[in-house]
Amino acid sequence: GAVVSQHPSRVICKSGTSVKIECRSLDFQATTMFWYRQFPKQSLMLMATSNEGSKATYEQGVEKDKFLINHASLTLSTLTVTSAHPEDSSFYICSATIVSYNEQFFGPGTRLTVL
């Protein structure tokens, strides 16, 4: 149980385009989802916390107009990178949890490359 999927697993796009990444909890209802960014050989950096039906809470330094997060249902959150540029190239990972549970379940990650 507690499986989280991400789609797509890999995406290459041109500079200036927008890219949407989906995060789904497959066998449980996630009250909270988290979006992370990981640069090569570094730890995960929390970008935002997303609760179903409410606005995401962004970490300091993360542009909310650049990284749009929608958590429309208890099983789906999306991250849209708007007007992507090469510096947005990174590995994006989501995780999901239930409010009463002290563990996060991670998706497999999405490799974004902006040309």
- Residues binding other proteins (CB under 8 A): 6, 31-32, 34, 41-44, 46, 49, 93, 95, 97-109, 111
Q: Which lies closer to other proteins via its Cβ, residue 32 or residue 75?
A: 32
SS3 46: strand
The encoded tokens of residue 12 equal: 């290459």
When the beta carbons of 34 and 114 are compared against other proteins, the nearer one is: 34
Q: C-beta of 61: minimal distance to other proteins in Å?
A: 15
Which CB sits closer to other proteins, 22 or 82? 22
Q: How many CA atoms lie within 13 A of 20 on its CB side?
A: 7
Nearest approach, Cβ of residue 75 and other proteins (Å): 16
First-to-last CA distance in the chain? 37
Closer Cβ to other proteins, 75 or 95, answer by number: 95
Beta carbon of residue 60, minimum distance to other proteins (angstroms, whole number): 12
- Asked if residue 56 lies in contact with residue 68, where contact means CB atoms within 8 angstroms, the answer is no
Q: For residue 114, what is the enclosing H or E element?
A: strand 110-114
For residue 16, the minimal CB distance to other proteins (Å) is 27
Q: Scanning the structure block, which residue is given the tokens 């007007």? A: 83
